[in-house]
Amino acid sequence: MAGIPEHLLKRAQAAREKAAAEAAGIPASDAGDSGSRIPADLLERSKGASGVAVAERSAVPVVSAPGNGSIPFGAGPGGHTQRLLTVVKSGSIQDVKAVPVDKVHTWPHLLGVEFVASLACTAFVFVFSWFVNAPLLQAANFNQTPNPSKAPWYFLGLQELLTMFHPMIAGVTIPGMGIIALMFAPFVDRNESNRPEDRKFLTSLMTVHLLFWSVLVIIGSFFRGPGFNFTFPWREGIFFEL
């Protein structure tokens, strides 16, 4: 009986005594009903013809002890019975939570939007080239180098750095440090939020990178004249062609 709690043993003993008293014709008030916590109406409802009682509105069968002293059907160890009259609400065993999810599948959500954006960009370039004339220049003359000789706009930032630092520093060290910083940025900031206000570190890092390179490209495009010397475009004109 070590596995049965003491209070259950007491309740089972009180139930057996009361059942024996009722079988002998003794009123419930004289059989020590005050010591039992089971109401008399529930005991009456739990009686069955075969000695097996089933509590109404409960999914657990309840067994009552017969008055002849024999071990009832479905009794526990040592003939002890236990009444389960509590109905467990579904809310206490079911955990239903509606958690919003901010992630979607790559297909079709992301790739569909990117495909529509590529079609829109292609249509814009097609219409723009239809209305804007962009002729090619004459064939290059290797005997005459244009002055100033500028790289394409996407390399002008690097060419501008070459006018300020040694080629090793301007062409390898500074661009390499920028690329390495951008490569390690996701490992430094592990914030998984997609909102810009929550990613201040990465937003600041990318903003500084773009501003630094944009300033170099603008200076090389509009503020460099013959000999790649610094000039003001509103005084000597713009020495830049797409």
Give first-to-last CA distance, the chain, whole Å: 95
pLDDT per residue as tens digits for the range 118-136: 999 999 999 998 888 877 8
> Residues 172-195: what's their mean pLDDT?
87
CB atoms within 10 A of CB 11: 19
pLDDT given at position 160: 92
More confident residue, 177 or 75: 177
Domains and CATH numbers, the chain: 6-87 (no CATH), 147-236 (1.10.287)
Lowest average pLDDT, out of 14-18, 87-91, 113-117, 164-168, goes to: 87-91
> What is the pLDDT at residue 84?
55
Is residue 215 over pLDDT 90? yes
Burial class (CB in 10 A: 0-12, 13-18, 19+), 156: buried
Instruction: Tell me which of 148 and 77 has the higher pLDDT.
Output: 148
Q: How far apart are CA 167 and CA 241, in angstroms?
A: 25
What pTM does this model have? 0.47
Q: Which residue has the higher pLDDT, 156 or 242?
A: 156
CB 63 within 8 A of CB 52: yes
